[in-house]
Chains A and B, each alone.
Chain A
Amino acid sequence: MQVRTGIAVSPGVVVGPALVLGSENFRIPGKFLRDAVEVELARFRTALDHVCSDIEEHEILVGEQLGSQYAAIFSAHLQMARDPRLISDVEQKIQEDNYSPEYAVSKTLRGLAQQMQNLGDRYLAERALDIFDLEKRLLGELLGERREELSNLTEPVIILAHDLTPGETATLNTDFVLGFATEVGGHTSHTAILAGALEIPAVVGLGRCLAGISGGETVILDGDHGQVVIEPDDSTTNRYRDSQARNLKVSERLESLESVESQTQDGIRIRTMGNIEFPEEVRQCVRRGADGVGLYRTEFLYLGRKNEPTEEDHYQAYRQVLEACGDRPVVIRTLDIGADKVPDRIRHRFAESQNPMLGLRSIRLSLQGTPLFKVQLRAILRAAVYGRAEIMFPLVSSLLEFRQAKMILMDVMEDLEDEGIEFCRDIPVGMMVEVPSAVILAEEFAREVDFFSIGTNDLIQYTLACDRSDPSVANLYRSGDPSILRMIQMVMTAAKKHDKPVTVCGQMSSDPRFVPLLLGLGLRKLSVTPHSIPRLKEVVTHISLPEAERIAAHACTLDLARDVEHFLLGELGRICPDLVF
């Protein structure tokens, strides 16, 4: 049994066979008992012969064209392919353990590669790559036409990969993909956000761990606690089965809250809204009784396509969401492409940046590439005729930026008017509060904006100067840090003075522990991933405002993130025991 801990990005617990995706996305059949051991052995030997003669051909070809020193690389590969130890290990696994040749090859070679990586010698660790290369060649031979792509799954699997691109994630077949875990990635990477949107459990940032896994092993993926258990023992499996059953019961009950209005026990109405990425997700918000869309991330119009989206592409997407929401508001955030989610097409603009999270991203990019920005604003203004749209600018760090963005918006309105195109003029314009400078100047901003939305993910990252996707400092990234609580207080005070509404739309509001705190700090609008809406309602309907204020007041006296989070967890356990496990 092997337990790995990463970052939980999408909740839920699933158990199933592992599918390990290498760079070539091979699918390896697990071990199975076959009568025909001799047939399987022969398959392996034939595959090995083919691989060896391929390498020999390469060796001769390269020797003729480039010289013998280059051909030597291939003689080393050939030696490895003909290595007696390696061959006897594989054959033993086929004969004695009845492993399929694919599984035996993968298990043996990955085991050896892992041993080499563990020697602590950089040069030899790199030789492990040769072993992976050999594995890939052998599997290519063995699998032949059996090689499968992600899109051709026929049975349920849990995907383990070094990384998944947002494109790969978006096209996962959720009928068969129970969940996924990746070695790299952070909480706010797009792959993580997509997992939430697809509503499948996911864990990212596991660190290197795939070398010893061949695929087919039983895996428990715990998207609630960010754990992956490989080849669990019986007691662990049973423990997870029990909590899975309990989870299911709680979720079923929570789903029934969809028609319940979210108000506190003393009758204060709390707007619970959804964060969405794709227009289709608006249905999930509506089904769960959301009071609108608090954050519509529009980057997906840019990702995974060759050409820049046209005004019409934007317009159709926005109109679809606005119409589905009817009289409920939809907050459309303008392009927030950041260092971690740049589409190929414009990546060259970011290549030079040493510190991309502090570089040209988000509203800064919009203000520099005005045609891009204007196209989006035109589409929002036109679509706004069909519902209650609001515009939100991300990553605003100075008043000048907000004014510039607003000026461009006015220009666009003028253009539309000149062209006689129908649009909505009375559209609220607000900003994300996610840079500490915006918090410090919240009073000044509050005079000019129509609303604030606190983006806790970036606010925490910038305030604590901590990249959560870097496992060596991820422990510093804490929603419960007293500095973050203080930041939220500052925004609330400024907003109250100028009577401007505030929403929290980061991961913080999706975590039920923080809901009483946020209500106590004065928040009346929370926007969360659609599948968290029922949990959010559960907390809201079980608490009274004085109680939330008492919790917030006490939390603000604590001086360590750990103490804040521990206290909040205890309070949640008292208010909604079902949500704590």
Chain B
Amino acid sequence: METTQPLERRVILAHKNGLHLTPITMLVQRTADFQCDVRLSFDGKTASAKSAVELMLLGATEGAELVVQASGADDAEAAIDCVASVLGDVSED
């Protein structure tokens, strides 16, 4: 069953160096197994959570408000939880 409406959540980026290699690597690794399409938006730009290059080009800095959207499969809710935990959790930075 597919979700028709994309799920959306706003997350504040907690990582001190912004959206850099460590959180990006984690995002790409952890979202790889989700069936749904996960996208992050910031400052008018959108990136797939599965593309390290696009995530880097967002240029998001500490404290940035990112919009996370997931759609297309029924694991969207779980995917958003996963992204939010990476972006908001600095313990692994």
Q: Is the interface of B mostly helix, strand, loop or mixed?
A: helix
**A124 engages B56 (CB within 8 Å):** yes
- Complex Cα gap A112–B18 (Å): 19
Chain A: interface residue total (CB-CB under 8 A): 19
Interface membership of chain B positions 36-69, coded 1 if the CB is closer than 8 angstroms to chain A and 0 otherwise: 0000000000001011111011010100000000
Q: Which residues of A contact B51 (CB under 8 A)?
A: 83-86
- Across the interface, name the chain B residue whose C-beta is closest to A116: B56
Separation in Å of the A55 CB from the closest CB of chain B?
Answer: 13
- Complex Cα gap A120–B48 (Å): 22
- Complex Cα gap A84–B28 (Å): 11
Residues of B participating in the A interface, judged by any CB pair closer than 8 Å: 17-18, 20-21, 24-25, 28-29, 48, 50-54, 56-57, 59, 61
**A86 engages B53 (CB within 8 Å):** yes
Q: Given A84-B48, A127-B21, do A79 and B28 touch, yes or no (CB 8 Å)?
A: yes
Q: Which residues of A contact B53 (CB under 8 A)?
A: 80, 83, 85-86, 112, 131
**A80 engages B52 (CB within 8 Å):** yes
**B25 engages A75 (CB within 8 Å):** yes
**B54 engages A85 (CB within 8 Å):** yes
Say if the beta carbon of A121 comes within 8 Å of chain B: yes
**B25 engages A72 (CB within 8 Å):** yes
Say if the beta carbon of A581 comes within 8 Å of chain B: no
Q: List 9 A-B contacts (CB under 8 A).
A: A76-B21, A79-B24, A80-B52, A80-B53, A83-B54, A115-B57, A116-B57, A124-B56, A124-B59
**A127 engages B56 (CB within 8 Å):** yes
- Complex Cα gap A80–B55 (Å): 11
Q: Pick from B17, B21, B24, B50: contact of A84, CB below 8 A.
A: B50
Say if the beta carbon of A119 comes within 8 Å of chain B: yes
- Complex Cα gap A80–B24 (Å): 11
Q: Given A83-B53, A84-B48, do A119 and B59 touch, yes or no (CB 8 Å)?
A: yes
- Complex Cα gap A124–B20 (Å): 7
Q: Which residues of A contact B48 (CB under 8 A)?
A: 84-85
Interface membership of chain A positions 78-91, coded 1 if the CB is closer than 8 angstroms to chain B and 0 otherwise: 01100111100000
- Across the interface, name the chain A residue whose C-beta is closest to B54: A85
- Complex Cα gap A80–B57 (Å): 13
**B52 engages A79 (CB within 8 Å):** yes
Q: Which residues of B contact A131 (CB under 8 A)?
A: 53
- Complex Cα gap A82–B54 (Å): 12
Q: Pick from B17, B25, B57: contact of A123, CB below 8 A.
A: B17
**B52 engages A76 (CB within 8 Å):** yes
Separation in Å of the B47 CB from the closest CB of chain A?
Answer: 8
- Complex Cα gap A445–B28 (Å): 73
Separation in Å of the B6 CB from the closest CB of chain A?
Answer: 19
- Complex Cα gap A80–B51 (Å): 8
Task: Pick the 4 closest A-B CB pairs, nearest first.
Answer: A85-B51, A119-B59, A79-B52, A83-B53
**B57 engages A121 (CB within 8 Å):** no
Separation in Å of the B87 CB from the closest CB of chain A?
Answer: 17
- Across the interface, name the chain B residue whose C-beta is closest to A89: B53
Q: Which residues of A contact B18 (CB under 8 A)?
A: 121, 123
Q: Which residues of A contact B54 (CB under 8 A)?
A: 83, 85
Between B48, B53, B54, B57, the greatest number of chain A beta carbons within 10 A of the residue's beta carbon is seen for B53
Separation in Å of the A241 CB from the closest CB of chain B?
Answer: 40
Interface membership of chain A positions 510-531, coded 1 if the CB is closer than 8 angstroms to chain B and 0 otherwise: 0000000000000000000000
Q: Pick from A75, A84, A123: contact of B20, CB below 8 A.
A: A123
- Across the interface, name the chain B residue whose C-beta is closest to A72: B25
Q: Which residues of B contact A85 (CB under 8 A)?
A: 48, 51, 53-54
**A119 engages B57 (CB within 8 Å):** yes
- Complex Cα gap A359–B59 (Å): 44
Between A72, A76, A86, A124, the greatest number of chain B beta carbons within 10 A of the residue's beta carbon is seen for A124
Q: Which residues of B contact A80 (CB under 8 A)?
A: 52-53
- Across the interface, name the chain B residue whose C-beta is closest to A127: B56
- Complex Cα gap A124–B17 (Å): 10
Separation in Å of the A353 CB from the closest CB of chain B?
Answer: 36
Q: Which residues of B contact A123 (CB under 8 A)?
A: 17-18, 20
